[in-house]
Amino acid sequence: MKRRLLLAIPLLLFIALAALLYRGLSLDPSSRDSALLARDFPAFSLSSLEDPEASLDASLLEGEVTLVNVWGEWCPTCKQEMPQLLDLAARGVRLVGVDYKDSREKGRAFLEEFGNPFEVNLFDPEGELGFELGVYGAPETFLVDADGVIRYHHTGYITPEDVTETIMPEVRKWQ
C-alpha cells in the first residue's frame, strides 16, 4: 500500500504543475504592479496644458487623495476611458491628467471633444514624467495619497466595473 502511494507522487506533481500552468494561461501578462507602489510620486517641474507659463511640481499632489491619469490624444483607449474618468470626477474624486507625448493643440482639442474631468493637466511632451513613472503605454492611472505617496496603479483601460469595484474602494481606503 505504501508503495502504491509512492507511485502516485509523479502523478500528483504533474497535476500540481498543470494546475499552475493552467492558471498562468488566464493571467494578463501586461498587467503587473508598478515599481513605484508605496513610494513618493517622482519629482517634476512641468507647465500645464492649459497654461504654458505655469510651473507645477509634486507639491500639487499633496493634501488630497488624487488620481493621476496619463493620457494622450494619440491613444485610442484613452478616448474610450474618458466617460469613466468623468464618472469618477462626478463622484468627487480629484483627478490630475498628464498629457503624455502630445502637442498642446491636439491635447486641448481632445479635452474639448471628450470632456475634461481633470483639475489640471500636466503637459509632458517629451515624456519625462512618464518615464519617471515607468509608464510604458497610455492610459495608466496612479492613485496618490494625501502625502504624495503612490498607493495604487492601474495599467490600461478602466472599465465601468473597475470604477465601482476597484478604484472607488481604493480611493476611500486612502482618504
32 near another protein (CB under 8 A)? yes
Name the minimum Å distance from CB 90 to another protein. Answer: 32
Q: What is the Cα–Cα distance from 153 to 36, expressed in whole angstroms?
A: 9
Q: Which residues in 90-149 contact another protein (CB under 8 A)?
A: 101, 127, 131-137
Using the contact rule CB under 8 A, the part of the chain among 28-36, 43-51, 80-88, 106-114 near another protein is: 28-36
Name the minimum Å distance from CB 20 to another protein. Answer: 12
Of positions 36, 58, 86, 89, contacts another protein by CB under 8 A:
36
Name which of 39 and 91 has its Cβ closer to another protein. Answer: 39
Mapping DSSP onto H, E and C, the string for the chain reads: CHHHHHHCHHHHHHHHHHHHHHHHHCCCCCCCCCCCCCCECCCCEECECCCCCCCEEHHHHCCCCEEEEEECCCCHHHHHHHHHHHHHHHCCCEEEEEEECCCHHHHHHHHHHHCCCCCEEEEECCCHHHHHCCCCCCCEEEEECCCCEEEEEEECCCCHHHHHHHHHHHHHHHC
89 near another protein (CB under 8 A)? no
The site for another protein, by CB under 8 A, has a size of 16
Name which of 47 and 155 has its Cβ closer to another protein. Answer: 155
Name which of 128 and 162 has its Cβ closer to another protein. Answer: 128
163 near another protein (CB under 8 A)? no
What is the binding site for another protein (CB under 8 A)? 29-30, 32-36, 101, 127, 131-137
